[in-house]
Amino acid sequence: MAEPVAVDVVVVGAGTAGLAACRTLAAAGLSVAVVEAELAGGAAAYWADIPLDALRLPGEVLLAAQSVPGAQDAVTTTLDAAATLQWRNSLVHHWQDDAAAATLERAGVQLLRGRARITGPRQVSVARLDGGTEVAEAALAVVLATGSAPEPVGEELHSAGAACWGTREALSAATVPHRLVVAGGGPLAAAIAQAYARLGSRVVLAAPDGLLPGWPAPAVELAAASMRADGIQLWRTTGATKATAGGGSLVVELANGHTVDCDALLVDTPRRPLLAGLGLESLEIPSGPGSPGGLRLDALRLDAHGLVQGTDWLYLAGDAAGAGLRSAGSGSTAPGAAGSNTSGSNTAGSSTAGSNTAAFSSTAAADQGRRAAASILAAAGVEDGRASPARGAAGPALAPRMVYTDPLIAAVGPSLEQARHQGLDPTVLLNRVSSADATPARRAGGHADVFSQLLVDPDTSRLLGATFAGPDAAALAQLAALAITARLPAGALLGAAPPPGD
Map out the domains of the chain with their CATH numbers: 5-41+97-150+272-398 (3.50.50.60), 155-268 (3.50.50.60), 407-496 (3.30.390.30)
How far, in Å, CA of 321 to CA of 319, rounded?
Answer: 5
Judged by DSSP in three states, 173 sits in coil
Please give the average pLDDT of every successive group of 10 residues along the chain, which has 502 residues: 90 97 97 97 94 96 88 85 98 97 97 97 95 96 94 75 88 97 94 98 93 93 96 86 81 85 91 90 64 58 90 94 44 35 42 43 86 96 60 55 94 91 92 59 58 93 94 92 90 61 44
Contact 500, 470 (CB under 8 A): yes
How far, in Å, CA of 203 to CA of 264, rounded?
Answer: 10
Judged by DSSP in three states, 127 sits in strand
How far, in Å, CA of 66 to CA of 240, rounded?
Answer: 36
What is the separation of C-alpha 482 from the centre of its chain, rounded to a whole number of angstroms? Answer: 21
Beta partners for 234? Answer: 205
How far, in Å, CA of 109 to CA of 349, rounded?
Answer: 28
How far, in Å, CA of 137 to CA of 500, rounded?
Answer: 53
How far, in Å, CA of 204 to CA of 417, rounded?
Answer: 29
Beta partners for 385? Answer: none
Positive/negative CA dihedral, 324, 325, 329, 332: negative
Q: How far is CA 344 from each of CA 273, 305, 394, rounded to the nearest angstrom?
A: 20, 9, 9
pLDDT of residue 388: 46
Judged by DSSP in three states, 273 sits in strand
Q: Where are the beta strands (DSSP E) in 282-418?
A: 301-302, 314-316, 346-347, 401-403, 409-412
pLDDT of residue 497: 52
User: How many residues are present in the chain?
Assistant: 502
pLDDT of residue 188: 94
Question: How far separated are the first and last CA of the chain, in Å rounded?
Answer: 66
Q: What is the pTM of this model?
A: 0.86
Q: How far is CA 255 from each of CA 236, 251, 265, rounded to the nearest angstrom?
A: 10, 13, 15
pLDDT of residue 142: 98
Q: Which residue type, as a one-letter code, is found at position 221?
A: E
Q: φ and ψ at 311, to 5 degrees? A: -130, 165
How far, in Å, CA of 41 to CA of 19, rounded?
Answer: 7
pLDDT of residue 106: 96
Provide CB contacts within 8 A for 298, sequence distance 6+: 347, 349, 353
pLDDT of residue 444: 52
How far, in Å, CA of 40 to CA of 345, rounded?
Answer: 29
Q: φ and ψ at 186, to 5 degrees? A: -70, 175
Contact 196, 173 (CB under 8 A): no
Helices and strands of the chain, counted as H and E runs: 13, 23
Q: Where are the beta strands (DSSP E) in 195-328?
A: 202-207, 233-236, 240-246, 249-254, 259-262, 264-267, 271-273, 301-302, 314-316
pLDDT of residue 358: 47
DSSP 438: S
Buried b (16+ CB within 10 A) or exposed e, 244-273: eeeeebbebebeeeeebebbbbbbbbbbbb
Q: What value does the CA radius of gyration of the chain take, rounded to a whole number of Å?
A: 23
